[in-house]
Amino acid sequence: MDNYEALLQLIERNDVITIYGHSNPDGDCYGSQIGLRELIRARYPEKKVYAVGSGIPAFFERLTTMDEVDEATIASSAGILVDVSCLRRVEDPRVYQCKEHGKFDHHQPSPLEEFVGPSIVETKRIAAAEIIVEFAIRFHFPITRLAAEALYLGILTDSGRLTYRGTTPRTLELVALLRTKGIKIRSIQQIAYYESPETKKVKATIRRRARCYGHVCYCFLPRESFEKHGLSPQNAIRLVNALASVYPDCRCYVLFVPFDGDEVNVELRSNHGYCVHDTAKAFGGGGHKFASGCTIYSNQTDYMDVVKMLDQAEYVEEE
């Protein structure tokens, strides 16, 4: 039995299924949760299927809201993780109460926790949503318009509008399939890429504060720089790509944003084939070869330690 079959069996043997994503959900996380929920509901209408977490409120009116689920329901359910490598990175800690677990993911496996349960982990995929579409195709799940739009959102955002490294001919084929389901891509893109005037001001601040060390462009964004414009730390850290064009010759770029207390969230990127994952992993984080994240603590780690290690990032050939 392969991993696809094992996950199908997990779905089929459970009457209640709860679907989880990571903290600070992005388009792939929310889209994968909603997409998988709607696929299962369409094929197994007798099952109770819930997407658990905060989601992306900007899409609630356009697509759908998340579900509110009590502890008793969770305890009676199989928990399926999407776009997250392990239980400890799941947004809702109640995931530990589930009877069993499964996973659809495209991140490097977490060194901090061994995942127990059937899982499909394909690190060469541009988005977890791409894996879920393949799952639906293989087992002939009905793909409703809502499922298609949610999964399209996941692929769209994690691929940078189908431009990032890792976008393959198969990615485009899957998007073409989703287009046949009647999805309205313009309105999805308008929401996904809308930038408020306040966001634009913070991005300008990031670029202005950017510095270069060796082959790395970096910025430490003070709390007052985004709070005065009404942005949360969660929204501020998502603006890491504002650094991409500041120093075009830099191999990697990294944004540091203070969260609660001494906690500083770190997002690392590379557009030039240099692996940032090893640096993130060294500081307890993870992700992908060219896009990763971690958390450091200002009372323990100087952020320049991250920058200096990132400057030693190695070039890796695309497989």
Select the more confidently predicted residue: 317 or 96. 96
Band of residue 318 on the pLDDT scale cut at 50, 70, 90: low
Backbone angles phi, psi at 294, to 5 degrees: -160, 175
Q: Give 23-58 pLDDT, tens digit per residue.
A: 999 999 999 999 999 999 999 999 999 999 999 999
Average pLDDT of 140-164? Answer: 97
- CA 81/CA 205 separation, integer angstroms: 35
User: Rounded to the nearest 10 degrees, how much is the dihedral formed by the CA atoms of 140, 101, 192, 166?
Assistant: -70
The pLDDT value given to residue 1: 65
Q: Which of 275, 254, 284 is nearest to 266 (CA)?
A: 254
User: Got the DSSP string for 27-89?
Assistant: HHHHHHHHHHHHHHHHH-TTSEEEEES---GGGTTTS---B---HHHHHTSEEEEES-SSGGG
Residue 192: what pLDDT? 97
Give the per-residue pLDDT at 54.
Answer: 97
What single letter denotes the amino acid at residue 56? I
CATH no., domain 3-192: 3.90.1640.10
Given a cut of 60, is residue 280 above it in pLDDT? yes
300 or 83, which is more confident? 83
The answer on pLDDT for 271 being more than 90 is no
Top CATH class of 200-310 equals: alpha beta
CA 151 to CA 159: how far, in whole Å? 12
Q: Are 148 and 176 in contact (CB under 8 A)?
A: no
Q: Give the model confidence (pLDDT) of 216-251 as tens digits.
A: 999 999 999 999 999 999 999 999 999 999 999 999
Q: What are the DSSP calls for 212-225, one per residue?
A: EETTEEEEE--HHH
Q: Where does the pLDDT of residue 165 fall: very low under 50, low under 70, confident under 90, or very high at 90 and above? A: confident
Which residues have C-beta within 8 Å of that of residue 226, sequence separation ≥ 6? 202, 205, 232, 233, 235, 236, 257
Q: Which neighbouring-strand residues pair with 292?
A: 268, 287
User: Is 190 a residue whose pLDDT tops 60?
Assistant: yes
Q: Using N-to-C axis directions, what is the helix angle for 27-43 and 145-158, rounded to 10°?
A: 160
- Per DSSP, the chain holds a count of helices (H) and strands (E) of 12, 11
pTM summary value = 0.93
Which pLDDT value is given to residue 46?
A: 98
| pLDDT band per the 50, 70, 90 thresholds, residue 110 | confident
| Three-state DSSP class for residue 292 | strand
Nearest to 49 by CA among 62, 34, 64: 34
Q: What is the mean pLDDT of residues 126-147?
A: 98
The predicted pLDDT at position 15 comes to: 98
> What mean pLDDT is predicted for residues 148-154?
98
CB of 4 closer than 8 Å to CB of 120: yes
With 70 as the cut, is the pLDDT of residue 274 above it?
yes
pLDDT at 319 over 60: no
Q: Per-residue pLDDT averaged across 308-315, rounded?
A: 97
Residue 307 confidence (pLDDT): 98
Taking the CA atoms of 109, 111, 113 and 114 in sequence, report the sign of the dihedral they define: positive
Whose CA is closest to 306, among 286, 271, 273, 276?
A: 276
What are the sequence ranges of the domains in the chain?
Answer: 3-192, 200-310
